[in-house]
Structure 1
Amino acid sequence: MKIRILAGAVALASSFVLCGCGQLSGTGADGRTVTVWLMKGSASQGFLDRFKESYEAERPSVELEFVLQEWGGIGPKVLKALEGDDAPDVIEVGNTQVAQYAETGELRDLTLESVRDLGGEDWLPGLAEPGKVNGAQYGIPWYAANRVVIYNKDIFARAGITALPTTREEWVDVTERLNTSGRQGIYLAGQNWYVLAGFVWDEGGELAEDGGGDWKGALDSPAALRGMDFYRTLQALGEGPKDADEQSPPETDVFAGGEIAQIISVPGSAALIEQRNPALKGKLGYFPIPGKSAKKPGAVFTGGSDLIVPEGADQRGEGIEVVKALAGERWQTELARAMSYVPNKPALAKVVEGQPGTSAMAEGATEGRATPNSHYWPAVEADNPIKTYMTAVLEGGDPAEEARKASDRITSTLITG
């Protein structure tokens, strides 16, 4: 699962629906070709060209072949490749998809490389944790993206707000002040469950809990209920629909009307907003989703990509070297700057200074999390009971009872798929 990603982070704003495919190919001097599947839009042509030229100059006997894939339908395609006789040597996958692929037994365990060569102990948890299954690191973090608060500077200025909120309490206070005649302090759709997940994690709750391999829905815990209560408070400060998600209608279109002070989205959404309303160009700002205290930002769902190496790949060893290069500091720095991504280590966040949206995203990413690391989690999202639960509560249902029903549905799905 990816909130999944973009040229300049825009595709993340579109739920990572990326189209088209192509390839850059060749054969090394000794016939060694390393095939790398990347998702279309994850890296620019310029980045791929520079990486290919540099890598092949350092390893003259190797030729890189980049094959660009679409996100749509990629799951079955990867599974088929892993189980076949002609697997690529490296595959980019959504960070929360790793468990599904590891279940096949066809992924190379990269734990040694992650510790010895890549400083894996310093990776963003939202990328590293879903890449680890049963104690083994199968997915190597490549890049991340997450939601921030995008705000209208003019509306903030007219309300006399000069200091951005750094706590939930301040955020609610500011949003109430922004609610003036004809304007909404925030637009938050009722079924934006990725945002809810952050509030649940802030309270110490979980969407589901792992009881030693037996997953169980956990929305009915006291901590998770507190997260939902805060969501309800915030959502009530605007006129977002209670029975729809952020794409119905697209929140970027609503915000582009110019009468909404804030939305919670990825920074790349700003480009879509400005396309809809050029008058807002230069008038949008960003800040991390506030946490319960000013000591750290709020928890966020981290979307992004990990790199995996099929166990049966012909050039598996060289594939591992490609992964190490792409995940290393030099190319992490270049990718982050070229694509406005969050690099895989907080220590590298300085490389996106001067990019306000990406900098806010990088700050929030330090508190990033991923969805439950069960290979059945995609089935939960396919018929998402969290959305149904949120609407029921926002429309006046009993939170505890609705959370119990949603948790039961999650448990059932995580048991049977």
Structure 2
Amino acid sequence: MKGRYQSLAASGAALCLTAVTLTGCGAVGGLTGDNEVTLRVVAADYGDNPQNSSAAYWKGLADGFEKDHPGIKVEVDVYSWSEVDAKVADMVKAGKAPDIAQIGAYADYAAAGKLYSTAELLSVKTEADFLAPLADAGKVKQAQYGMPFVSSTRLLFYNEKLLADAGVIGKDAKGWQPKSWAELEAAAKKLKGAGVPTPFALPLGREEAQAETMMWMLAGGGGYTDNEEGYAIDSADNVKSLEFLRDKMVGQGLTGPVEPGKLDRQAAFEAFTKGEVGMLNGHPTLMKQAEAKGVKFGMVPLPTSDGSPQPAMGVADWVMAFKNGHRAESGKFLDYLYQPKNVTAFTEKYDLLPATTSGYLAKQGATSGSAVQLKPFLTALPSSRLYPAGKKSWAGVSEDIKQNIGKAVQPGGQPAKVLEEIATAARAADPR
């Protein structure tokens, strides 16, 4: 979820904290006394201001863990999403990797042999509690190294007033459940006819083009990988999905005045909250943004090419433990981190989805608060498909998609050619 929360991340210097005192930033984990071990943890900030910074959560977690585990101290550095991955990379390069990192990707470190596997770290109970699709996404060559921290899925958001005014739905704004792309196209045409500036926002700009692309690929019966987890970016289904976007959405002027390849997701979100967008794909953050501006909205699964059910896209952030000689201590801390009460405390604070079965069941049974609004996202989670995060090559492939996918859907674009070029480079970077 890194891309989603970069716009919320606190800027500037790291928020450094220690479970015992607020001093000692930059200390390297090690022995600090008579057989006392200090674990160094680096985490990302999910807050958008100092008042709701993730630093408070991690300090409370560290305090609680230390109380239950004498002899193990925990120091946590919290950095904004815009810098946390680079900070950890620099620490690893300098030979001072943290014991535990909560960041956006793990595959490079796993491939380099720098991480403990979950089997080496966690209790059987904790390891078995991860939701299956998230646990699978944390594997490299069948061994799990990435531990999913929090997750999210995507849904189609629509502005109830705009759709009602355009005659897409009744004035009571109830019961719209489009199943196919043909229904989506028809709704977008009505919105255009009613003067809506952007009937359907299609953000294929650099911020998160890889996510928007994957959603459409999945809805078209394809995806980035095949059943054997090899890259299938240029599959016939994927080509057809982008041809639909080029011909039916962009080609008919249904995606607004900004070229999709130049439209970032947050800009699309902001336009939705201003009442300028009829429909777009979104995640839970958009709920709060729209509510704050008084926009009445509905949420449904993204329609598919032929109306048949297809998996939604899921996204996860990751926790990993570096081989620093503190395997047992790191394992104890991670078991504590993934206790249901601690998982729930974090997901409720930031309106995110849990990565564990116990957390999922707790939210599924909720009858009040934001958990009720999150249920449509929650329902899609168990069968969702995630990025091929276990591939060391994925970071480069994702960047390639961000730079080039917008060209495929512009008038005169060549989806087959663009996807073939991306796929060829991906396969070269990931020989099987």
1:308 — aligned with what? 320
- Gaps (5+ residues) in structure 2? 21-31, 48-52
Contact 1:23 1:67 (C-alpha < 8 Å) held by counterparts? yes
Contact 2:204 2:262 (C-alpha < 8 Å) held by counterparts? yes
Contact 1:202 1:291 (C-alpha < 8 Å) held by counterparts? yes
Counterparts in 2 of 1:378 and 1:295: CA distance versus 1, 3 Å = same
Contact 1:29 1:62 (C-alpha < 8 Å) held by counterparts? no
User: Over residues 50-79 of structure 1, what are the superposed CA-to-partner deviations in whole Å (9 max), with x where a residue is unaligned?
Assistant: 323332232233332211123335445424
Counterparts in 2 of 1:142 and 1:402: CA distance versus 1, 3 Å = closer
Instruction: State the alpha-carbon separation in 1 of the partners of residues 275 and 184 from structure 2.
Output: 20
Match of 2:223 among 206, 213, 234: 206
Match of 1:181 among 171, 194, 208: 194
1:2 — aligned with what? 2
1:63 partnered with 2:73: yes
Give the aligned residue type for 2:283.
V
Contact 2:10 2:45 (C-alpha < 8 Å) held by counterparts? no
Give the aligned residue type for 1:182.
G
More displaced stretch, 197-206 vs 326-335: 197-206
Q: SS at the partner of 1:52?
A: helix
Q: What does 1:23-172 align with in structure 2 at a 5 Å threshold?
A: 23-26=16-19, 31-41=36-46, 44-82=54-92, 86-94=96-104, 97-111=105-119, 116-120=124-128, 122-125=130-133, 127-158=134-165, 159=167, 160=170, 161-165=173-177, 167-169=179-181, 170-172=183-185
Instruction: State the alpha-carbon separation in 2 of the partners of residues 46 and 272 from structure 1.
Output: 23
Give the aligned residue type for 2:180.
R
- Gaps (5+ residues) in structure 1? 6-10
1:328 partnered with 2:339: yes
Instruction: State the alpha-carbon separation in 2 of the partners of residues 335 and 135 from structure 1.
Output: 29
Q: CA RMSD in A?
A: 3.4
1:247 — aligned with what? 264
User: Over residues 288-321 of structure 1, what are the superposed CA-to-partner deviations in whole Å (9 max), with x where a residue is unaligned?
Assistant: 3345688856421x333221111124x3312112
User: Over residues 209-254 of structure 1, what are the superposed CA-to-partner deviations in whole Å (9 max), with x where a residue is unaligned?
Assistant: 6989xx65x3322122233234443555332533524328811232
1:262 — aligned with what? 279
Contact 2:59 2:76 (C-alpha < 8 Å) held by counterparts? no
Instruction: State the alpha-carbon separation in 2 of the partners of residues 87 and 402 from structure 1.
Output: 38
Contact 1:352 1:358 (C-alpha < 8 Å) held by counterparts? no
Counterparts in 2 of 1:249 and 1:269: CA distance versus 1, 3 Å = closer
Instruction: State the alpha-carbon separation in 1 of the partners of residues 344 and 308 from structure 2.
Output: 27
More displaced stretch, 197-206 vs 347-356: 347-356
Counterparts in 2 of 1:55 and 1:326: CA distance versus 1, 3 Å = same
1:227 partnered with 2:241: yes
2:302 — aligned with what? 289
Shift in Å, 1:377: 2.0
Instruction: State the alpha-carbon separation in 2 of the partners of residues 402 and 282 from structure 1.
Output: 37
Shift in Å, 1:337: 1.1
Instruction: State the alpha-carbon separation in 1 of the partners of residues 402 and 328 from structure 2.
Output: 42
Shift in Å, 1:157: 3.5
Q: SS at the partner of 2:157?
A: strand
Counterparts in 2 of 1:189 and 1:44: CA distance versus 1, 3 Å = closer
Instruction: State the alpha-carbon separation in 2 of the partners of residues 248 and 63 from structure 1.
Output: 40
Instruction: State the alpha-carbon separation in 1 of the partners of residues 37 and 204 from structure 2.
Output: 52
Contact 1:4 1:304 (C-alpha < 8 Å) held by counterparts? no
User: Over residues 164-193 of structure 1, what are the superposed CA-to-partner deviations in whole Å (9 max), with x where a residue is unaligned?
Assistant: 325234444444444432114322235544
Identity %: 20
Structure 2 length as normaliser, TM-score? 0.78
Contact 2:203 2:261 (C-alpha < 8 Å) held by counterparts? yes
Counterparts in 2 of 1:49 and 1:311: CA distance versus 1, 3 Å = closer
Give the aligned residue type for 2:300.
F
2:385 — aligned with what? 369
Instruction: State the alpha-carbon separation in 2 of the partners of residues 200 and 140 from structure 1.
Output: 26
Number of positions where the alignment pairs a residue of Structure 1 with one of Structure 2: 395
Counterparts in 2 of 1:75 and 1:26: CA distance versus 1, 3 Å = closer
Counterparts in 2 of 1:44 and 1:190: CA distance versus 1, 3 Å = closer
Contact 1:22 1:69 (C-alpha < 8 Å) held by counterparts? yes
User: Over residues 333-389 of structure 1, what are the superposed CA-to-partner deviations in whole Å (9 max), with x where a residue is unaligned?
Assistant: 22111111110134344266542553333233334323233212212333x246524
1:395 partnered with 2:395: no
Contact 1:186 1:261 (C-alpha < 8 Å) held by counterparts? yes
Instruction: State the alpha-carbon separation in 1 of the partners of residues 296 and 9 from structure 2.
Output: 25
More displaced stretch, 237-246 vs 100-109: 237-246
Instruction: State the alpha-carbon separation in 2 of the partners of residues 248 and 142 from structure 1.
Output: 23
Contact 2:88 2:98 (C-alpha < 8 Å) held by counterparts? no
Give the aligned residue type for 1:229.
E
Q: SS at the partner of 1:369?
A: coil
Q: SS at the partner of 2:276?
A: coil
Contact 1:140 1:323 (C-alpha < 8 Å) held by counterparts? no
Give the aligned residue type for 1:331.
N
Counterparts in 2 of 1:332 and 1:4: CA distance versus 1, 3 Å = same
